[in-house]
Structure 1
């Protein structure tokens, strides 16, 4: 264990906001709140609270870990912009962690693979399938699927833990063939798991320059058409 290792992890990829502090290999503080559309407002306050609670200040020996998606367009932009600003102003190193992989890590170790699914809107599903005997290794890489396509990918696989929206799970029960789909709860993120996975990135030296940090949308953002004002 590296007692000098300090990782500040942030996850803004969903309607939840999660921030955690890891020292060595131990999560010493973690706060997760349901805060739709309030990430930019609450994130600085939570960060300051966690640092003050642990008698710490932002310094260049802290590594920032950020969950980069797939997930909410707005949420991801908030988290990534915040981390870029911290990195540039304080000289902090950055590592990136896949959002679905971090959610899957909550259930490790387990001999049953775990599928993580998030609503991607417009009929799409952000999903991936992981082997979680050790650290999560992708069996099916994170991508955007239709319901029928994802059901086909998860069929004929014995047992799978399913983590995701319960509505998606109920729809898939009648679509998946030859697989026992076990519902394991909603896709609540954990910055603590982001921090734990970040340890592997740090030891591998996979740091990112702030300008190269990009969200993993998987689907292009489509702005809504502006409505014309009626001519009076």
Structure 2
């Protein structure tokens, strides 16, 4: 087994390889505006570090978000392209689940990432492998009572200490954590999400409703 995992749902552009037992190579860079520019070089780096060619990959794992439209689709389109070209399955995982898995927390906790517009994408977990609620998108002030007393991980938690006073690392998801979670799920015969984007809200860029029609003279 050799899993290639990618995620671009957060400002972290991240790729990793997992051999079924451990992460053999990983590359992450935080840059919210260069997902399309940075992802393929990251894949090249992990392949080179592992000393394998792309045709050694047996499955692709993609973080499906939630996340902003523009960044999120970069990772999913890349994953779909690799899957099609290699003839291997593409498995979707919630990006928040990857953060939860990486946290290593055992008791109830929250994962929150930055959704911009002064909102967070968030979910509540019973453990690193069990999601209770979400994912959802809300203003932090609107969920304060629902997350009170719980530790929280992710960039969204670090941004809003009033709502998440017990904010902790990791700040961003890592493809290594996604790949490790996928390996556990595959070994247990568990189901995956389809590799489709989880947006939770409409994209920022939209076609104007009342644009001027110009007719030829």
The answer on 1:154 being equivalent to 2:150 is no
3-state secondary structure, aligned to 2:163: helix
The answer on 1:196 being equivalent to 2:180 is yes
3-state secondary structure, aligned to 1:85: helix
- 1:112·1:160 contact (CA, 8 Å) conserved in 2? no
The structure-2 alpha-carbon separation of the partners of 1:37 and 1:170, relative to structure 1 and needing over 3 Å to count, comes to same
Aligned partner of 2:156 in structure 1 is 165
- 2:12·2:29 contact (CA, 8 Å) conserved in 1? yes
- Root-mean-square deviation (Å): 2.5
Give ranges in structure 2 of 5+ residues lacking alignment: 213-217
3-state secondary structure, aligned to 2:162: helix
Cα displacement (A) at 1:167: 6.0
Instruction: Normalising by structure 2, report the TM-score.
Output: 0.85
The structure-2 alpha-carbon separation of the partners of 1:9 and 1:182, relative to structure 1 and needing over 3 Å to count, comes to same
- 1:166·1:185 contact (CA, 8 Å) conserved in 2? no
What CA distance in whole angstroms lies between the structure 1 residues aligned with 2:161 and 2:37? 34
The answer on 1:35 being equivalent to 2:31 is yes
The answer on 1:17 being equivalent to 2:13 is yes
What CA distance in whole angstroms lies between the structure 1 residues aligned with 2:39 and 2:159? 29
- 1:59·1:92 contact (CA, 8 Å) conserved in 2? no
Aligned partner of 1:95 in structure 2 is 91
1:79 alignment partner, one of 71, 75, 78: 75
- 2:112·2:157 contact (CA, 8 Å) conserved in 1? no
The structure-2 alpha-carbon separation of the partners of 1:182 and 1:95, relative to structure 1 and needing over 3 Å to count, comes to same
Give ranges in structure 1 of 5+ residues lacking alignment: 174-180
The answer on 1:217 being equivalent to 2:217 is no
- 2:64·2:72 contact (CA, 8 Å) conserved in 1? yes
Aligned partner of 2:102 in structure 1 is 106
Cα displacement (A) at 1:35: 2.2
Residue by residue over 1:33-55, the C-alpha shift from the partner in whole angstroms, topping out at 9 and shown as x without a partner, is: 11222121121112112112222
Instruction: Normalising by structure 1, report the TM-score.
Output: 0.80
Consecutive aligned runs of 4 or more in structure 1 exceeding 4 Å deviation:
none
